[in-house]
Amino acid sequence: RKEVEQDPGPFNVPEGATVAFNCTYSNSASQSFFWYRQDCRKEPKLLMSVYSSGNEDGRFTAQLNRASQYISLLIRDSKLSDSATYLCVVSTGNQFYFGTGTSLTVIP
Amino acid sequence: DVKVTQSSRYLVKRTGEKVFLECVQDMDHENMFWYRQDPGLGLRLIYFSYDVKMKEKGDIPEGYSVSREKKERFSLILESASTNQTSMYLCASGGQDYEQYFGPGTRLTVT
């Protein structure tokens, strides 16, 4: 079983739509959680950390559900510039596990 | 801004050659990582280091070694390159908050 699983998509949504991604993890001892964004042929860039109580950064909201072992990312009012692959990352001690990414295309 | 640089963006090597990939960070981070990224497999951790001269194996260390002689520099070595090591190699650095910052990547082709 993979440490981290994501729906690869692709998600194709119109501008202004709200879209949500989920990511499940297998190790209940996981401690830290993140969302990264990766543009085509570029390196991943940290989008936001995910805190136990949930956190928001502008149009982006991240949530953690420890009981069901998943994290989520909600993007409101999608922009064309949000088109990218979104990677979830789960950390257990010094080990980091990346999901394979969810592809998002925002259509005009 | 955190800056992580990698020695080459593109590299072409022949089977059996020794390959050095270098990574330098300017944020005085303790932790440094080497990943490879392949389509459908995502990022996989090769090695990481949490201090100078310290190294730990990740998920796929076979065929690779690393060196960290200085805090800011973490090198990945392919002792004898093989075609199945053709991949995108990404270096990252991070501090105690576990957030990682990536370099631009090296696309290695082994022929």
Residue pLDDT, tens place only, A16-65: 999 999 999 999 999 899 999 999 989 999 999 998 888 999 999 999 99
CA distances from A84 to A22, A45, A103, B15, B61 (A): 16, 11, 6, 34, 29
Which neighbouring-strand residues pair with A62?
A: A55, A73
Which residues in chain A have Cβ-Cβ distances shorter than 8 Å to B58?
A: 95
Chain A residue with minimum CA distance to B43: A98
pLDDT digits (tens, 9 = 90+) for A88-106: 999 987 788 999 999 999 9
Q: Which of A34, A95, A97 sits opposite B99 (nearest CB)?
A: A34
Q: How many C-beta neighbours within 10 Å does residue B14 have? A: 10
pLDDT at residue number A9: 85
For the stretch B60-107, pLDDT in tens is: 999 999 999 999 999 999 999 999 999 999 999 998 778 899 999 999
pLDDT, mean over chain B: 94
Taking the CA of residue B76 and the nearest CA in chain A, the distance in Å comes to 17
Tallying the residues shown for chain B, one arrives at 111
> How far A88 CA sits from the closest chain B CA (Å)?
11
Measured CA to CA, the distance from residue B72 to residue B28 in angstroms comes to 6
B43 touches A: beta carbon within 8 Å = yes
Chain B nearest-CA distance from A82, in A, is 19
Contact B68, B74 (CB under 8 A): yes
Check if the beta carbon of residue A45 is closer than 8 Å to that of residue B102: yes
Q: Is the predicted pLDDT of residue B1 greater than 80, yes or no?
A: no
- Which residues from chain B sit within 8 angstroms of residue A46, using beta carbons? 99-101
| The pLDDT of residue A2 | 81
Residue B110 has pLDDT above 80, yes or no: yes
Touching check for A101 and chain B: CB below 8 Å?
yes
pLDDT for the residue A93: 76
